Amino acid sequence: MSGVIYKIVNGVTGDFYIGSSCRFSLREGEHRRLARKGEHHSIIFQRAWDKYGEDVFNFIIIEKCETGVLLEREQHYFDTLGPKYNISKVAGAPNPPPNKPIIREDVASGVQVEFRTRDDAAEGGFNEGEITACCLGRAGTHKGHYWYFADGSTPAFNSNERSRPVKRIDIATGEELHYASMALGAADGYMISGISACCLGKQKKHRGSYWFFANDEVVIPDDGKEGFFKERCKGGGPGAPVDRIDLATGAIVTYKNMAEAAREGFTQTSISKCCLGDRNTHSGYTWRFHDPSNAKIDISKVCAQNTFKIVRISEDGTEKVYDNFVAIKADGFNSGNVHSCCKGWRGKHGGYKWQYVGNPNVFNNKVERAVIGTSVNSGEQVTYNSAAATAVDGFWPQKVGACCQGRRKTHKGYKWEYA
């Protein structure tokens, strides 16, 4: 089966949108229909459509290719042409939800306010991401309000975890309050994500209070807050001490927590991934949760386990080898995008293919494995050559991979497993 890479070109400004499809005529019709209704997923494209009118936009096929390489070719044009109207510059990434009217409803009073777009709804101190999660049925409330699409297309929010009763303990006064659900706790000015993180032991406190599931036994040690934190987080988590290890010398620098390291220009998320084993290095260092009993470290073992040389491959097959990501950044490339190429999550970056020297199986052994999706409702099965290939039909490769690895149950109504 074949597909096409296409451009939607603004004849006045020359700006354009790039996409791919196996059914070009249907996809063109969908773009026009959504734009005419003011609901196109790209707000940048929608604003240009509204400003210049439909007649100035031309749909042009720029390449025909087999579906197996469709995403790779689309990514090539993202990297080389730099389309202005695409929100995401990663081929196969799911489109953001349609930017259509949203209703905000106060949980306590029931008062409703309608907004034309998510941008308008986010004004006044609300978070657009949290609003979107509510509208897509992934969260219940945000800052004491329900949020849903005005046309009634928002699915019902159903989370056994977030609907469980919770209790809040005020750190200053020791007062204990009970809520029938996290949503009701959020109605008092707290955030569901913060409450949930505390109840699951991923966070120490939220807005001056400790939070627990109502049926959990609460034991706060007498040795103070730090002891309580270690008990809940088992020595890990964003508030735990971390070690930064220099890969060249083995020198160790210990920080009180990830936030302290972030004040020196590092990123908390990347540090956390290193500590949890989901990432090898960050900014030229490897990271671990601090362990006082293991102050000395054999740097040769760390380097052997956590660093790989990276090779850059051009269209004509010419190769250039880099010793680490620091050298890659010095050449003007994005280390995160290069890492995604090496792990098989994207095809190219900067017009080049990238892979670890020797292509160590530690990263790539699961990416190229065939996957099978089984419909939860009908039992129908679909098979793809890899998790990345599922993106052609609108699935999210990362979530498909998470299902195959047992970290997620279903994705878009399908159970997934390696073939």
Q: What is the CATH number of the domain that holds 327?
A: 1.10.10.10
Q: What is the CATH number of the domain that holds 56?
A: 3.40.1440.10
Q: Which of 349, 364, 379 is the last residue of a domain?
A: 364
Instruction: Report the alpha-carbon distance of residue 53 to residue 11 in Å, rounded.
Output: 11
Are both 254 and 288 inside the same structural domain?
Answer: yes
Instruction: Report the alpha-carbon distance of residue 113 to residue 359 in Å, rounded.
Output: 54
Are both 298 and 324 inside the same structural domain?
Answer: no
Are both 288 and 325 inside the same structural domain?
Answer: no
Are both 282 and 294 inside the same structural domain?
Answer: yes
pLDDT at 274: 79
37: in domain: yes
Instruction: Report the alpha-carbon distance of residue 353 to residue 79 in Å, rounded.
Output: 11
Do the Cβ atoms of 390 and 400 come closer than 8 Å?
yes
Q: Which domain holds residue 53?
A: 2-81
Are both 229 and 178 inside the same structural domain?
Answer: yes
Instruction: Report the alpha-carbon distance of residue 173 to residue 170 in Å, rounded.
Output: 6
Instruction: Report the alpha-carbon distance of residue 169 to residue 163 in Å, rounded.
Output: 19
293: in domain: yes
Q: Mean pLDDT of residues grouped by 10 in the chain (419 residues)?
A: 88 92 88 87 88 93 87 87 83 65 87 84 78 78 86 71 77 78 77 80 78 76 42 51 78 84 81 73 80 56 56 88 80 79 74 76 49 88 82 79 80 87
Are both 41 and 60 inside the same structural domain?
Answer: yes
Q: Length of the chain in residues, anyone? A: 419
pLDDT at 227: 41
Q: What is the CATH number of the domain that holds 267?
A: 1.10.10
What is the arrangement of strands in the sheet containing 57-66, beginning at the earlier edge strand?
16-21, 2-10, 57-66
| pTM score, whole prediction | 0.32
193: in domain: yes
Are both 220 and 198 inside the same structural domain?
Answer: yes
312: in domain: yes
pLDDT at 336: 72
158: in domain: no
Do the Cβ atoms of 290 and 257 come closer than 8 Å?
no
348: in domain: yes
93: in domain: no
Are both 70 and 6 inside the same structural domain?
Answer: yes
pLDDT at 356: 80
Instruction: Report the alpha-carbon distance of residue 409 to residue 307 in Å, rounded.
Output: 32
Q: Which of 328, 346, 364 is the last residue of a domain?
A: 364
* Burial bucket for residue 146 (CB in 10 Å: 0-12, 13-18, 19+): buried
Query: How many domains does the structure of the chain reveal?
Result: 6
Q: Strand 16-21 relative to strand 2-10: parallel, antiparallel, unpaired?
A: antiparallel
Interaxial angle between packed helices 43-52 and 24-36, expressed in degrees from 0 to 180 and rounded to the nearest 10: 70
161: in domain: no
